[in-house]
Structure 1
């Protein structure tokens, strides 16, 4: 409307040129200038509006599609809050028989070790405002064809590794086609274990790195109480084996306690300097910063999907870790176990990373599962265990969340005919 008015004024001025009084001519020029200013102001306002929209909307779109530190999985699920929910009974569980899976450690096969109640096997995680896709083993096997999945961490990571292998083996017709690459028996004493699914040409590997950073021998001139150190500014010396993977899942936390550190003579080191008075919380933050820098420098996140799984709460009856109260059903409330300094630190560090990393914030959901620990049903029955989980069990759900992310959120993994994406 303003542009049309401006054109009419211009045409009128041309027709009248030379026949109007100076006063009228001056008013005509003032009118033209006014209309020009109106158009310019309109164009400038429009440009500013577009620019603001670009600044506000484009980062949101970039974050949604490519990730900003915590990746689009965390962003999309932040609104859904997939980790806020409850455990509901489900008769379709368990998804496999641990006794029939050759890659489950005997210590985690609770039924095989004499546990008689089976209620703990029949629970599925249900987020409040979303739904996790049902596990489709054949579709997943096809999507993992020619891939390399790597777990890095402590025994909790090894448990999740075993869980994923057993879940996938249910869809393999020739069980003998699945084997440990070096013929090793599954044990906590080996730093590397790799299982190959030869029919689908992919491997699922585990690297034992309980601190993620390098553990070294006693430095020269160190006090007698120092037997070894954690080099907080250096990632584990086997870290070069973790690159060139398609899926990379980290965890740590269980060993970052005085009993595993100071009481065994292990202290912290940065560069050549011993940090004898450094608290564990500060050391852990330094180590996770080192991990984050390593990921940003060494991992091609266009190929590799990086996950960090948060701390898994235990359910000991007291601080001595001598008594383990395994309940029959999940807890109705977390009773203070839904938060962890280790989990909070990981979330803080990942939030500030410049490459996409997905945090699997399983601390709260796992805090409710006091019924699913090994307890007295391990291969060492006189030693209770309220830290590790029975298989099948809680780690299966962690893996279902990982798989739902991989198959639903990235183009190279997504196929709507294979798996329905998570719904909010």
Structure 2
């Protein structure tokens, strides 16, 4: 009897052990499946065709930053390369994103080709991952970013909003109804995005809405801050500064309250100065304003000049941009005013970077010039409006279609933010 009892007990124990093992295996399998689903769910729900190209969510504070090779971040020049086909693109459409302004909505207005949306920037000697909206929002959680400049800067912000729309749309938290000063908030991530309209970066006023070229005549005080943005950026963690195209317009140049010359003002006895004169002094003043801030602790990105592509005439003389594929890097050159603008920006950036470093300020380069020089196929041209509409910029070869090549600027920006995470980790762990 005792033997039977022991045998029964032993049998129960065996069953118990087996059941426990089965339950453990079941729980482990379930956890593994849940983990796989969790990691892939964001990409599955938005139907990425090739999730392998997109990294898992990134945490700037994650210790796995140690596994990032130096050459992936520090030694690779992501701004020199070629455009290669990307059949997976685009990652949003003009019907899924409400942030697209009408004059950049090329597909709505009948653009017959769509290949301009299906290219990816490939740096020489390394890879640049496709923008991952989850990674980006994870990095900027609890932070804020301001785009400061003209309508091309706003074009960049709208592209970013469209790319992030696969995760979340922001709510409008603007302080004013003025469309030139917009603020958006991503509630789930407590991330604020803003745009400050300042086409010349410095204090200016339109003197004559017509002017000698029917594009206005502006009085620009090249050494005076535009306080509409300089007084409002202390709170931001990142600012993206850009300007360029408005310096083509006629302007009177003032310094220390005195008229020193002009750009194509056609006024007798006034020295006509090159366009880069105004651009240089405007950037010098803008950088001086940033370096003079007492409470600003953020990072300043200079987004370099993105050339326009008018062919067969000037913008107001029938010029257009109807190419349907990118140039190769050996098919065109950065020259003339494009080169002049680019070099002017770079020179003033390096000066500001050196001065800022003495005070602990951080300046970073978002160099879009070479990549965008090759993308004459990416502008709205005649497809930013209906054919019968009377618009100022009838053929728009300045702004960029959405979706379109400007989306790559977010690939660049995310890469630079990852680099900041790597730098922060190294600084925290380097010996004092």
Query: Is the shorter-chain TM-score for this pair beyond 0.5, marking a shared fold?
Result: yes
2:287 paired with 1:296: no
Could you say which residue in structure 2 is the equivalent of 1:280? 275
Q: Give 1:211's match in structure 2, choosing from 186, 189, 200.
A: 200
User: Does the 8 Å CA contact 1:326/1:386 hold for their aligned counterparts?
Assistant: no
More off after superposition, 194-203 vs 121-130: 194-203
Separation in 2 of the partners of 1:250 and 1:194?
A: 16
Q: 1:237 is matched with which residue?
A: 227
Confirm or deny that 1:181 pairs with 2:173: yes
CA RMSD of aligned residues (A): 2.7
**1:270 aligned residue:** 255
Q: State the 1:271 CA deviation.
A: 1.2
SS of the equivalent of 1:215 reads: strand
Unaligned runs of 5+ in 2: 1-70, 208-215, 262-270, 357-361, 389-393, 427-432
Kindly state the Cα deviation for residue 408 of structure 1 after the two structures are TM-superposed: 3.3
Is 1:364 paired with 2:353? no
Compute the displacement of 1:179 (Å): 2.0
In the TM superposition, residue 292 of structure 1 has moved relative to its aligned partner by 1.7
C-alpha displacement of 1:341 = 1.4
In the TM superposition, what is the alpha-carbon distance from 1:139 to its structure 2 partner?
2.4
Q: Secondary structure at the match of 1:87?
A: strand
Q: Would you say the 8 A contact 1:306–1:358 is kept in 2? A: yes
TM-score (norm 1): 0.70
1:199–1:233 Cα change, 3 Å = same
| Aligned equivalents of 2:206, 2:257: Cα separation in 1 | 12
Contact 2:247 2:278 in 1 (8 A): no
Q: Distance in 2 between matches of 1:210 and 1:85?
A: 29
CA distance in 2, matches of 1:166, 1:349: 32
Q: Any idea what SS the aligned residue of 2:192 has?
A: strand
For 1:418, the equivalent position in structure 2 comes to none
Aligned to 2:285, what secondary structure does the other structure show? helix
2:424 is aligned with 1:403: no
Asked if the contact 2:221/2:257 (under 8 Å) is kept, the reply is: no
Q: Aligned pairs, how many?
A: 320
The alignment's TM-score, normalised by the length of structure 2, stands at 0.68
1:305 and 2:299 are equivalent in the alignment: yes
- Aligned equivalent of 1:345: 344
Q: Are 1:99 and 1:109, in contact at CA under 8 Å, matched by a contact in 2? A: no
Matched, 1:80 2:92: no
Equivalent runs, 1:364-383 vs 2, <5 Å: 364-381=370-387, 383=394
- Residue 400 of structure 2 corresponds to 389
- Partners in 2 of 1:285 and 1:137 — Cα distance? 35
Q: Is the 8 A contact 1:337 1:367 kept in 2?
A: yes
Which of these residues, 93, 116, 137, is aligned with residue 141 of structure 1?
137
Unpaired segments ≥5 residues, structure 1: 1-74, 219-225, 416-424
What's the counterpart of residue 52 of structure 1?
none
Tell me the equivalent position of 2:333: 336
**Alpha carbons of structure 1 residues 133 and 297: separation in structure 2 relative to 1, 3 Å:** same
